[in-house]
Amino acid sequence: MKALQFNVNVPKFAAAKTLRTFFGNQVFYKGPVRTIQLADVPKPKLHTPDWVKIKNLYCGFCGSDLNLIMLHDSPSASPFTSFPCVIGHEIVGEIIETGANVTGFQKGDIVAINPGLTCEARGIDPLCGPCRAGRSSNCENFAEGSLPPGMFLGINSGVNGGFAPYLSAHKSQLYKVPEGLSLESAVMTEPVAVALQTIFDNMPEPDEKVLVIGGGVIGNLVIQSIRALVPECSVSVIEPSSFAAGLARKAGAAEVIPSKDVFAQTSRITGAKFYKPLLGMEIPMGGFNRVYDTVGISATLNLSMRLMAAMGTLSVVGIGGDAKLDLTPLWLKLQTIKGVYAYGHVEFNGKTQHVFEIAMDLMKNKKIQASDLVTHKFALEDYEQMIEVNLNKQKHRAVKTVIKF
């Protein structure tokens, strides 16, 4: 079958990085050193009787997919990936075959897939600490067990991701799509779950003022998640794109702060007092109680820490590379910095639920409008056009792009 396959080695990495200087980003998806291409790959198999085979319906194109193609990812994660791999981890599909040990699911079920390849999927017993604690997407065994290294579907050479007509998944990865939830919403379950887990891990109080940095897909969904879980909270967002800023207002942001006026606007919104050091950016006393940084680079992380109040908590949602930080606000204002990655089980409405279940329920009940963010649909063979749209979202008025099968 034809699938969108990523592959890279050290010579190709060096050549692509060098040629980009002369020919731009297209070297990563066109030409002799491209990292991504349509390839013939074997149809998936049931790895054990605990697996199912799925006919793909939709797969979303994530910012992390683009970073992978453009070779932006940190080498620190390389032990937990394996190549070549078929990318794509935001998946909704139809079960077409079940293993003998699979219960609760049957042929014809429409499911959203938690892409994490955890202890259960890898046949590891006993489970690691994070898996036992209900945070299996932070499993400690991503390079162990019966599968090749790879944290999730889409970066594993032994199990293909969602940019292929068919894939296989372990029964622990499956969540039935409820009746009444559109496929355009269901394909957004994974990014909605990321945003919701961000808020469950750093829950604001109703009277607090919070800041979201970045109004893209995840930033927009973080705003919507706050509105769904803590509607009284005051939410501000920093987003330079006028298109994305407008969508952030629609999502529930009370304030859109221009990137060139963050200090004055933070003072107006929070009452913070700013002080000018001998060198460098101003530093406030006071500020936002919580900050959710969906960009995660040095500039935004340093800004986040400066704009956050004493005893505030910063959630680092964006996955950047190496960052150079001025840690003065951290100790001066007793701040907490939390990493954000994936999703797990939480207590919600009096019971323990996986965030995937909560995401689909909130979308079904129109408390999160994720399908509105799906702006472009492509056929698999049009992947080059999809990449180009994602490289210039403002021009194309694009938010979430998906492959439709």
CA dihedral 316, 319, 323, 325 (to 10 degrees): -10
- Give the CATH number of the domain where residue 381 resides: 3.90.180.10
Whether 8 and 133 share a structural domain: yes
Whether 331 and 375 share a structural domain: no
Query: How far is residue 244's CA from residue 398's CA, in Å, rounded to a whole number?
Result: 9
Decide if 353 is inside a domain. no
pLDDT of residue 76: 86
Q: Would you state the structure tokens that stand for residue 257, as one six-digit string?
A: 């702060």
Picking from 318, 339, 360, the residue at the C-terminal end of a domain is 339
Decide if 51 is inside a domain. yes
Average pLDDT over all residues of the chain: 96
Angle made by CA atoms 373, 376, 381, in degrees to the nearest 5: 140
Query: How far is residue 226's CA from residue 234's CA, in Å, rounded to a whole number?
Result: 9
Angle between helices 189-201 and 355-364 (to 10 degrees): 110
Query: How far is residue 235's CA from residue 231's CA, in Å, rounded to a whole number?
Result: 10
Decide if 304 is inside a domain. yes
Whether 215 and 311 share a structural domain: yes
Number of structural domains in the chain = 2
Decide if 388 is inside a domain. yes
- Give the CATH number of the domain where residue 217 resides: 3.40.50.720
pTM for the model stands at 0.96
**Three-state DSSP state, 204:** coil
Picking from 322, 339, 356, the residue at the C-terminal end of a domain is 339
Query: How do the pLDDT tens digits run along the chain, 405 residues long?
Result: 999 999 999 899 899 989 999 999 999 999 899 999 999 999 999 999 999 999 999 999 999 999 999 998 888 888 999 999 999 999 999 999 999 999 999 999 999 999 999 999 999 999 999 999 999 999 999 999 999 999 999 999 999 999 999 999 999 999 999 999 999 999 999 999 999 999 999 999 999 999 999 999 999 999 999 999 999 999 999 999 999 999 999 999 999 999 889 999 999 999 999 999 998 889 999 999 999 999 999 999 999 999 999 999 999 999 877 889 999 999 999 999 999 999 999 999 999 999 999 999 999 999 999 999 999 999 999 999 999 999 999 999 999 999 999
φ and ψ at residue 242, rounded to 5 degrees: -65, -35
- For the segment 209-228, what is each residue's pLDDT rounded down to a tens digit? 999 999 999 999 999 999 99
Decide if 131 is inside a domain. yes
Q: How many Å is the Cα radius of gyration of the chain?
A: 21
pLDDT of residue 131: 97
Give DSSP secondary structure letters for 210-249: EEEE--SHHHHHHHHHHHHH-TTSEEEEE---HHHHHHHH
Q: Would you state the structure tokens that stand for residue 264, as one six-digit string?
A: 């004055």
Whether 182 and 205 share a structural domain: no
Range of the domain at 212: 194-339
Whether 131 and 163 share a structural domain: yes
Whether 198 and 216 share a structural domain: yes
Whether 299 and 213 share a structural domain: yes
Whether 8 and 67 share a structural domain: yes
Q: What is the DSSP letter of 402?
A: E
Whether 39 and 167 share a structural domain: yes
Whether 184 and 199 share a structural domain: no
How many angstroms separate the Cα of 107 from the Cα of each of 77, 97, 102? 36, 6, 11
How many angstroms separate the Cα of 167 from the Cα of each of 46, 108, 234? 9, 15, 42
Whether 292 and 383 share a structural domain: no
Decide if 95 is inside a domain. yes
Whether 278 and 400 share a structural domain: no
Decide if 349 is inside a domain. no
* Cis preceding-peptide flag for 84 (omega within 30 of 0): yes
Place of tokens 């942001």: 253
Decide if 33 is inside a domain. yes
Place of tokens 């889409």: 154
- For the segment 239-281, what is each residue's pLDDT rounded down to a tens digit? 999 999 999 999 999 999 998 899 999 999 999 999 999 988 8
